[in-house]
Amino acid sequence: MKIIFMGTPEFSVRILDEINKNFDVILVVTQPDTYNYRKKNYTYSPVKEYALKHNLPVFQPEQIKTAVDYILSFDVDLIVTAAYGQFIPKKILDHPKYRSINVHASLLPKYRGGAPIQRAIMNGETETGITIMYMDKKMDAGDIIKMEKLPILDTDTSDSLFEKLSILGSQMIVSVINDLKDGKITPIKQNEDEATYAYNITKEDELIDFKKNAKAVYNQIRALNSNPGAYFILDGMNIKVYNSKVIEKTTNEKPGVIIGVTKDIIEISCGENTVIGLTEIQVPGKKRMSVKDFLNGNGKNMVTINKEVNK
């Protein structure tokens, strides 16, 4: 089975690894290198790092739609994508003998799009999963080949869920490819009436809205941990928040006010008279740190009771 694999982030690497162990990967397509202006060097995608380490040929078009003829020049049985990050022209999708399939981190038709893991956590979902489906010209709308569920724990962050779903996808992919080859697939059409969308995270999504209740704020923070990170504004500075917890008490203070500071928690009032406790943050120019370490430094001078944030 000759396969072209398309993917970019760490999520894709385990899936590529399982395919590479069991089939003939003839090309790896990933996003172009990114330039780090601070370090003055280029950063490779995790998928490219894997491909180079395993002597797999790499192709990095700025836009895949400009490379149709190149992809069509390959004699390929199947294209597998996993978080590649670009829309792929239908001519490419229809080219392989067994067409093209995608490994998507949601229970389709829910959470189609580029940020299904973050949006599921942000919305307080209690389960997610992996859907492997045929690719279609419409985003994540192809017929479903296989689906497996996974619980979202209250302690999960996007980082932990990315890893769990990557493992699950890698466990599913080989049997799906073998079933395709053996003609054992009975695809199921998606119910368009149940479709929801997980659009990419924007800067507006990153700003913590303390008007929401504390559980919603907690979900927002863990959904964006560790990249790009949620933030609030304190004394004109963007303060990233990576970990928090819902405080089991109520307050009559309006949302967005610092109502308590202990040795390791900053308490801020939220909507519905609830309270969020911040436990891990990052101030500009510093590394991530516990609130305890922050307060032991200059933090006590910045964080005071009754101070409003996001002003």
Name all domains of the chain by residue range, CATH numbers in brackets.
Answer: 2-194 (3.40.50.170), 204-302 (3.10.25.10)
pLDDT of residue 234: 95
Residues in contact with 177: Cβ distance below 8 Å, sequence separation at least 6, in sequence order: 1, 3, 19, 22, 23, 78, 80
Residue type, 46: P
Query: Residue 30's pLDDT is what?
Result: 98
Listed as ranges, residues in the chain with pLDDT below 70 are none
Q: Determine the pLDDT at residue 35.
A: 76
pLDDT of residue 69: 97
Which pLDDT belongs to residue 207? Answer: 98
pTM, full prediction: 0.94
Burial of 207 (C-beta count, 10 Å sphere; 0-12/13-18/19+): middle
* Whole-number Å distance between alpha carbons of 27 and 75: 11
Can you give the pLDDT at residue 300?
81
The Cα–Cα gap between 7 and 105 comes to: 13
pLDDT for 213 equals: 98
> Which of 18, 21, 17, 25 has the alpha carbon at shortest distance from 1?
25
Contact 294, 264 (CB under 8 A): no
What's the N-to-C CA distance of the chain in angstroms? 58
Confidence (pLDDT) at 87: 94
Instruction: Kindly state the helix (H) or strand (E) to which residue 32 belongs, with its residue range.
Output: none
Q: In the beta sheet, which residues pair with residue 147?
A: 131
Q: Quick check: helix, strand or coil at residue 73?
A: coil
pLDDT at residue 311 in the model: 86
pLDDT at 42: 87
Q: In 3D, which of 156, 157, 140 has the Cα closest to residue 104? A: 140
Q: What pLDDT is recorded for position 297?
A: 84
Q: Where does the chain have alpha helices with state H?
A: 10-22, 46-53, 68-72, 90-93, 116-122, 158-182, 203-206, 214-223, 291-294, 300-302
Residue 150's CB is within 10 A of a number of other CB atoms, namely: 17
